[in-house]
Amino acid sequence: MPLGTHKEQHFESTETVRDVVIGMSDGLTVPFALAAGLSGAHVGTQVVVLAGLAEIAAGCIAMGLGGYLAARTDAEHYENELRREIEETRTMPEEEAAEVAQVFQGWGLSDQQIAPIVAAIASDEKRWVDFMMRFELNLEPPDPRRAVTSAITIGASYVAGGLIPLAPYMFASSVDDGLTASVGLTIGALAIFGGVKAKFTGIPILRGALQTALIGGAAASAAFLIAKIFR
């Protein structure tokens, strides 16, 4: 009797997906809250649009730069740890070999099984250092283009998300009409985005959609009420 092929589905959260999530989440939420707050202050639609565009520009630069610096920090950290591991394998090989053995002990191997494995790994410096970086420090070699790619992805995602709550004000005849349309459009976009994010991360889609929509809605509501009270 033929056996069916067992297919396992695992999600590997790529760096690009994480950057899109970071940029889009803030892009949808922050300009939405700003527009709602300005609407509560009863300014004109032109003011909302101009302020929103200024915020999107500033947020895009800030978020993109933050992503760039974070990626550069990760790369510098990796390089520093790599140099340290190379130095340690040359100056204290016994201690480093013992650390390799500890990794395999954690996997349940006996000393008799571990000894030839450690000898094989330690016979090649590059292999030895790569093993220590990956299994002792849990560090992977960074993509040299990661910093620029991250900055562009986060910045572009922020702009894409930020234009959604702002778009209705560009065509509305009054700030109240713009707010009504913006709330409907942005809450819907937040729910869709939350559902897609949940699909990638493996949590229930409905829960992800509701959580994201509620967070964005709460931020906008707080901004609107504060402006309404203190205007």
Q: What pLDDT, in 10s, does the model give residues 12-52?
A: 458 888 899 889 999 999 999 999 999 999 899 999 999 99
Question: What pLDDT is recorded for position 127?
Answer: 93
Residue spans of alpha helices (H) in the chain = 15-40, 45-91, 93-106, 111-122, 125-131, 146-171, 175-201, 205-230
Range of the domain at 103: 17-231
Distance separating alpha carbons of residues 22 and 73, to the nearest angstrom: 18
Establish if 181 belongs to a structural domain. yes
What is the number of domains present in the chain? 1
Distance separating alpha carbons of residues 115 and 182, to the nearest angstrom: 65
Distance separating alpha carbons of residues 126 and 147, to the nearest angstrom: 25
Question: What pLDDT is recorded for position 136?
Answer: 87
Question: What pLDDT is recorded for position 144?
Answer: 85
Question: What pLDDT is recorded for position 27?
Answer: 93
Residue type, 47: V
Token couple for 19: 């950057």
Token couple for 161: 């998300």
Establish if 22 belongs to a structural domain. yes
Distance separating alpha carbons of residues 104 and 176, to the nearest angstrom: 65
Establish if 4 belongs to a structural domain. no
Q: Residue 207 in contact with residue 198, Cβ under 8 Å?
A: yes
Distance separating alpha carbons of residues 17 and 2, to the nearest angstrom: 38
Establish if 144 belongs to a structural domain. yes
Where the chain has pLDDT below 70, the residues are: 1-13
pTM for the structure as a whole: 0.80
Establish if 9 belongs to a structural domain. no
Question: What pLDDT is recorded for position 200?
Answer: 79
Question: What pLDDT is recorded for position 229?
Answer: 86
Establish if 1 belongs to a structural domain. no
